[in-house]
Amino acid sequence: MKRLLVTGGAGFIGHHFIDHVLRVTDWEIVSLDRLDFSGNLNRLSDILKDNSERSRVKIVFHDLRAEVNEYTRSLVGEINYFVHMAAASHVDRSIVDPMSFVQDNVVGTCNALNFARKLDIEKFIYFSTDEVFGPAPRGVDYEEYDRYNSTNPYSATKAGGEELAVAFRNTYGLPVSITHTMNVFGERQHPEKYIPMCIKNARDGQSITIHSNKTKTVPGSRHYIHAADVAEAVMFILSLDDQLLKGNCPKYNIVGKQEINNLELAKMIADAQGKTLKYEMVDFHSSRPGHDLRYSLSGKKMKSLGWEPKIELTERIKQVVDWTLARPDWMMK
């Protein structure tokens, strides 16, 4: 039986990944988490529905800003796969307090990599972001090895962690692979994020802020992707025999099926509730410096290997809206 270590397993994407692994494998899972702003054990409790599932998940508390000591290592035990999802991920907070993001995303990643060196693992996945590439001009979809152009402290620290992961592969032979994904949404997401906020504001008849260009005519756009699709993609990458590849560290973009601007998305969310959308377009860069109007990744590589999301965005949005309205305990009141 395989054993999987997930850092940040109580986080939003982490708990969806654990849920997927429980459903498609018989693996044992260790979730390593410090339970701060992003981590919430209620997420894991919500998905661990019976004793057989609970017995396959072990939760170990550790703050990766500190080195993993021998006692924590003994609690984790032997591991086959190491998926490093723990990270600070809110752009606004990174602008206010960049050093905390350096500690979480650079120092924390270095400690995770050093820990992984002591384990006999088959693969280490570093979970990166589209934001390391910076804003994408219309018509440009960044591929896996394009240059970095970080525009805020969050993306810079994720790029720093990514380069450390590459260095550990090149220096120590650690079997590292890297993923970039775009805006992820789904059930149990923190209510500060855009889609949960849109669901709540549409429900309550409140105005939704749509970030746009300086003329307030072009909304920002993204390739939104459900966390369940991301989890499926990560499992697909774990199954790839990419350690025989020479040269560049294997990198994979995990991309949603369609690009959509934030005004279209807000309308989709309001329509799913039978509500009329109230919104205000705001000057994107003046109101939120460090944010970018458009991000975009190319999903060609993963598609050529045999993976792409199976479910349309409209269906995924309806699924999340219905779930969230039925579970107001996961929304801001």
Q: What is the pLDDT of residue 173?
A: 93
Is 131 considered catalytic here?
yes
Q: Given this model, what pLDDT does residue 142 score?
A: 97
The stretch 63-92 carries a mean pLDDT of: 95
In the three-class reduction of DSSP (H, G, I as helix; E, B as strand; rest coil), residue 120 is classed as: coil
Average confidence (pLDDT) over 164-185: 96
For range 57-72, the mean pLDDT: 96
pLDDT of 181 = 96
What are the distances in angstroms from CA 24 to CA 227, 235, 237, 241? 15, 9, 14, 19
Q: Which of 172-186, 230-244, 296-310 has the lowest mean pLDDT?
A: 230-244
Tokens of 55: 């017995």
Q: Decide the pairing of beta strands 208-212 and 279-283.
A: parallel
Catalytic residue among 19, 28, 104, 130: 130
pLDDT-derived band at 248, boundaries 50, 70, 90:
confident
Query: Which member of 19, 28, 33, 131 is catalytic?
Result: 131
Task: Give the residue with greater pLDDT, 330 vs 121.
Answer: 121
Distance between CA atoms of residues 333 and 331, nearest Å: 6
pLDDT band at 38 (very low <50, low <70, confident <90, very high): low
**Sorting pLDDT into bands at 50, 70 and 90, what band is 39?**
low
Specify the pLDDT at position 37: 56
Q: Identify the residue whose tokens are 């369940």.
A: 228
pLDDT at 164 over 90: yes
Q: Higher-confidence residue: 264 or 35?
A: 264
Of 146-150, 197-201, 217-221, minimum mean pLDDT range: 217-221
| pLDDT level of residue 159 (50, 70, 90 thresholds) | very high
CB of 259 within 8 A of CB of 223?
yes
Q: Would the pLDDT of 291 be above 70?
A: no
Task: Inform me whether the pLDDT recorded for 204 exceeds 90.
Answer: yes
Is residue 130 among the annotated active site residues?
yes
Q: Look at strands 221-222 and 260-261 and give their pairing.
A: antiparallel
44: which residues sit within 8 A by CB, 6+ positions away?
Answer: 9, 10, 15, 18, 31, 57, 59
Question: For this structure, is 154 an active site residue?
Answer: yes
- Given a cut of 70, whether residue 36 has pLDDT beyond it is no
Task: Kindly tell me if the per-residue pLDDT of 290 is higher than 70.
Answer: no
Contact 262, 222 (CB under 8 A): yes
State residue 29's pLDDT score. 97
| Domains in the chain: ranges and CATH | 3-184+223-254 (3.40.50.720), 191-221+260-293+312-330 (3.90.25.10)
Of the spans 23-37, 157-171, 230-244, which averages the highest pLDDT?
Answer: 157-171
Q: Which of 81, 126, 142, 154 is catalytic?
A: 154
- Identify the pLDDT of residue 307: 97
